[in-house]
Structure 1
Amino acid sequence: MMLSMLKDAKKVVGTKQAKRAVINDKAKIVFVAKDADRHVVDDLIKMCEEKSIEIVYVDSMKELGSACGIELKAASAAILKE
C-alpha cells in the first residue's frame, strides 16, 4: 500500500509544509486524510490538481500520522522528489 512509502521516504508532514513543497515543485505525492477539516486541506488539494500532483486519500488523520512515524494526527503529508 502507498502508506508504507511514507515510513522511509523523504517527506514533510503537515498541511503548511505540504503546501510549501507543492509551491516549490518539490512534492511528488501528497497524502490527505479524509477526516481532515475541509478548510484546512482544500487549498492543498486544489494546488495538487493544478500541478497534476498525485493525491492519495487516507482514511484518518490518526492513520496518516502513524504512517509518518509521529504520534500526532496529520491532516496531510507529502513525499518529496529526490
Structure 2
Amino acid sequence: MLAGMHNAAVALLVLSALAAGFAYWGLETAAGRQHFDEMAGIIPFAAALASVLLALLAALAAWLGRRRGRAGGAGAPPRTDLR
C-alpha cells in the first residue's frame, strides 16, 4: 500500500508541474497570451488553480502513505488497549 501511495503522490506532483508549466506559458509568454486571448485566457488560469489543487492532493497522498506505513499496515496485530 505504501508504494501505491508513493506512486500516486509522484504522479500527482508530475501532473501539477505540467499544469503549472502550461499555466505559465499561457499567462506569461507572448505566444501563450496570443493563443489564449480574451475569454480563452481562463484556460491557463484554471490550469494554475488545478496545479495548486494537484500539489495539495500529492502532499495528502504522501502524508497518508507515510502515516499508513508507520501504523504497520494490514499485517499489524489488533490493538487490545482500546476502551
TM-score, with structure 2 as normaliser? 0.26
Work out which of the two has the higher radius of gyration on C-alpha atoms and give 1 or 2: 2
Q: Point out the structure with the larger helix share.
A: 2
Q: Point out the structure with the larger strand share.
A: 1
TM-score, with structure 1 as normaliser? 0.26
